[in-house]
Structure 1
Amino acid sequence: MTQIDGLPPLRDVITRHGIAAKKSLGQNFLLDLNLTAKIARLAGDLTGADVLEIGPGPGGLTRGLLAEGARRVLAVEKDARCIAALEEIAAVYPGKLDIVNADALEIDVSARLTAPIKVAANLPYNVGTELLVRWLTPPAWPPFWDSLTLMFQREVAQRIVATPGSKAYGRLAILSQWRTDPAIVLDLPPEAFTPAPKVSSAVVHLRALPAPRFPADPAVLNKVVATAFNQRRKMLRSALKPLGPDAEDRLKMAAIVPTARAEEISLEGFCALARAYQAS
């Protein structure tokens, strides 16, 4: 697919606008409109929804989202070189594409969007995990978004969906699975991108749950999980000592064997442990 909207192929767009991918911005462009359209479809039914896109670059996924019927797309792009290319897309979809030239880590976009809201993005590799953690840990739940459809390095994607006992299991899995239903929905090889990164990529779809799977105070859970995995090879009775001298008692309150290690504990177990610490 080279055309879905009367606009030129993406390779022509980046050449004409001089948008060579910058490593400093974590840019790897996905130029195949077949793939960007497929990712847009993986975000679900977009009709009647606002879509937040971070790091649209020359606009491949943006075009897919609009072609799939998104009510409105809010594209946040830090690289000023890409704005002219995005404005050309906006001209083809009057009133449907809002462009913000800003750093996504420094602005609050929730007030610019109207529910229902979906987030879909080929995230810059250097900020992807930080943005995900922010979206998973808002002050209140449910969040402003209904779902996240995000591109990550495959290693990060595997950490999001990891299960207890695996090497990838850690804080990111706990945060993701506590409040969302995450799944890897597409794998992409390095050669799908320009320039080709050194690693494979994957798209993860995370659907927000109405409430967390198990009761726990978010701040306490985050602190307990971060402390437990900070020294993941240690037994929990030792790894949790920074939280106080009574780690063994708290573990027993949560029905967790004190000699267990963090990677062995289920999400439900960590939530029970958070409640045990909150009780103090």
Structure 2
Amino acid sequence: MFIKPKKSLGQNFLIDRTVLEQIIDTVEITNKEVLEIGPGSGNLTAYILKKKPKKIYVIEKDNDLVLLLKDKFTSEIDIINEDVLKVPEDEISDEKLIVFGNLPYNISTEILSKWIINLNKNFWFESLVLMFQKEVAERIIAESNTSKYGRLSILSVWKMNIKKIIDIKPHSFSPRPKIDSTLLLFTPRVNFFELKDPKNLEMITRVFFNQRRKMLKKPFNQIFRDAKKIAEKFNIDLNLRPQNLTPEIYFKLVKEYESLNC
């Protein structure tokens, strides 16, 4: 059964055996429950099964691919035929999941942001092994004082430890994308800044990074009534720019904003 990849769903099927093996060797999955996002034609799914997990769930939106997966794997996998953005991920299993995902490039940051924002102290996963467009991965792992550092970097490290695994070239996929990809490993942070509402982190970083080349004075004045006093409290030079502040400083600023306004 041949399925033509749909451009509208950002489908690029991973076909490189070496890369598939590298992905599957990133974490231990034997006798653990696994969730695969966007299994496509099931190439990675087959490698997952070889490692003998306790159970495999897959989320696949494409009805044609669901039929292919049912035909290929019969009762070996539990298929959730739904848009991943609409799935309540913490209700999939009572056990912590190992998650693999060759995420559609057009919604990859939306998926990651949704998962992080919805997280509480009881993480629903043990680890995330996710593939992104290389440029997006660089933004996720960027550190302060670099050009790629921004809102996505800060949100990602809020609750996650992140490690780059490999870069993946276009020839590893069918059809070939025009860009390189990068595989990242995410694991939960034991301790993270507790905020009353994650949307405040989104709001504050948006205000700062919408004007990333401007000095900090302007966004500070937009957010705080007494900007100078807040800056002094956290020893921040208002002549610096948004990329000069570490994620920890942003978390503290959000906490300060919440104490003053919520």
> In the alignment, which residue of structure 1 is the partner of 2:207?
227
| Aligned residues with identical type, % of pairs | 34
**Aligned to 2:23, what secondary structure does the other structure show?**
helix
> In the alignment, which residue of structure 2 is the partner of 1:144?
124
1:227-261 deviation digits (Å, cap 9, x = unpaired): 21121111112023332443333222222111111
- Work out which of the residue numbers 36, 39, 51 in structure 2 matches 1:68: 51
> In the alignment, which residue of structure 1 is the partner of 2:250?
270
* Aligned-pair Cα RMSD in Å: 1.8
> In the alignment, which residue of structure 2 is the partner of 1:158?
138
1:166-201 deviation digits (Å, cap 9, x = unpaired): 111011111111211101101101111111111100
1:107-146 to 2 correspondences below 5 Å: 107-138=87-118, 140-146=120-126
Number of positions where the alignment pairs a residue of Structure 1 with one of Structure 2: 259
* 1:257 matches 2:237: yes
Structure 2 counterpart of 1:119, one-letter code: V
* 1:31 matches 2:11: no
TM-score (norm 1): 0.86
Q: Can you give the 5+ residue segments of structure 2 that lack an aligned partner in the other structure?
A: none
- Work out which of the residue numbers 176, 195, 208 in structure 2 matches 1:196: 176
1:32-111 to 2 correspondences below 5 Å: 32-42=16-26, 44-91=27-74, 94=75, 96-111=76-91
**Aligned to 1:39, what secondary structure does the other structure show?**
helix
In 2, Cα distance between equivalents of 1:24 and 1:235: 40
> In the alignment, which residue of structure 1 is the partner of 2:217?
237
1:21-73 deviation digits (Å, cap 9, x = unpaired): 1111011111123322321221x111232111111110111112121222111
Q: Please say if residues 19 and 168 of structure 2, whose CA atoms lie closer than 8 Å, have aligned partners that are also in contact.
A: no
Q: Please say if residues 167 and 183 of structure 2, whose CA atoms lie closer than 8 Å, have aligned partners that are also in contact.
A: yes
Structure 2 counterpart of 1:68, one-letter code: K
1:82-127 deviation digits (Å, cap 9, x = unpaired): 1122113423xx4x41012111112224322231212111111111
TM-score (norm 2): 0.92
In 1, Cα distance between equivalents of 2:163 and 2:35: 20
Q: Can you give the 5+ residue segments of structure 1 that lack an aligned partner in the other structure?
A: 1-15
Residue 216 of structure 1 and its aligned partner are, at CA, apart by 4.5
Q: Please say if residues 118 and 145 of structure 1, whose CA atoms lie closer than 8 Å, have aligned partners that are also in contact.
A: yes
